[in-house]
Amino acid sequence: MADFQQHLSGALRQLRQANGWSLTLTAERTGVSKAMLGQIERGESSPTVATLWKIATGFNVPFSFFIDGSALPVGTASGFSQPNAEMSVRSLLPYDPQLRFDLLAVELVAGAQSHSSPHEAGCVEQVVVIEGELLLGIGDVWRRLLTGEAFQFRADVLHSYRNPLSTPLRFHSLIHYLQRPDVTN
C-alpha cells in the first residue's frame, strides 16, 4: 500500500504543478478539502474511491490516471481499494487518448453503496453486471441490473451504485470522455 500511496501522492502533486494550482484552488475545483489533499500529497492518507473520482473530475483527467498499472512501481497491482473498503476499482484497460475511454472492473461488497459525483460534461458510462445484482441510481431514478445486463447513461450527473445482495457485486464500467481529458504524463 505504501507504493500506491506514493504513486497517488506523486500523481496529485504532478497535476497540481502542471496546472499551477495551489492546494486552496485544488480544493475549490475538486470539492475535496485542502486538509485531505495535503494528506494525500504527503502520503499520510489514502483517499476513498469517491474522493479519487472527485479529484480526477476536478482536474479533468480519467480515473485510470491514478490507478493505471503502467504508472505504478513494478509489482504494484493496478487497482484501488482501501483496507475494509466497500468498493474496489481496477483498471482493465488504461485510458486511451485516441478513443477517450477507461475500462474499469468494479466490486462492491455485500450491501454496499457508493455515490459518484458528476463526471466531466458530456461523459457517458456503460455498466455491465458480471456477477450479482446492481441497483444503479441516476439522479433520483433507480434501475435494477442483473448478471449479464448492461446499461448506458450520462455520467455527468449524480449517480450511485448499490449492491442489495449478501454476496459481492462485480461489474465493468466503460467510461467515455467525450471531451478529451487533459492527461499530463
User: Over the chain, what is the mean pLDDT?
Assistant: 84
Co-location of 83 and 172 in the same domain: yes
- Is residue 149 predicted with pLDDT exceeding 90? yes
| pLDDT (average), residues 34-43 | 91
Of 14, 37, 71, the residue at which a domain comes to its end is 71
Identify the residue with better confidence: 95 or 105: 105
In the three-class reduction of DSSP (H, G, I as helix; E, B as strand; rest coil), residue 165 is classed as: coil
- Is residue 28 predicted with pLDDT exceeding 90? yes
Co-location of 88 and 144 in the same domain: yes
pTM, whole model, 2 decimals?
0.74
Residue 39 falls within a domain, yes or no? yes
- In terms of average pLDDT, the best of 100-109, 138-147, 173-182 is 138-147
- Measure the CA–CA gap between 20 and 103, rounded to whole angstroms: 29
Residue 52 falls within a domain, yes or no? yes
Structural domains of the chain, count? 2
Of 51, 71, 91, the residue at which a domain comes to its end is 71
- Measure the CA–CA gap between 65 and 35, rounded to whole angstroms: 22
Residue 127 falls within a domain, yes or no? yes
> For 91-94, which contacts have Cβ atoms below 8 Å and span 24 or more sequence positions?
91/64, 91/67, 92/172, 94/64, 94/68, 94/69, 94/70
Residue 109 falls within a domain, yes or no? yes
Co-location of 84 and 66 in the same domain: no
Co-location of 96 and 50 in the same domain: no
What single-letter amino acid sits at 165?
L
Host domain of residue 40:
2-71
CB environment 158-181: b (16+ within 10 A), e (fewer): ebebbbeeeeebbbebbbbbeeeb
Co-location of 61 and 97 in the same domain: no
Residue 183 falls within a domain, yes or no? no
- Split at pLDDT 50, 70, 90, the class of 175 is very high
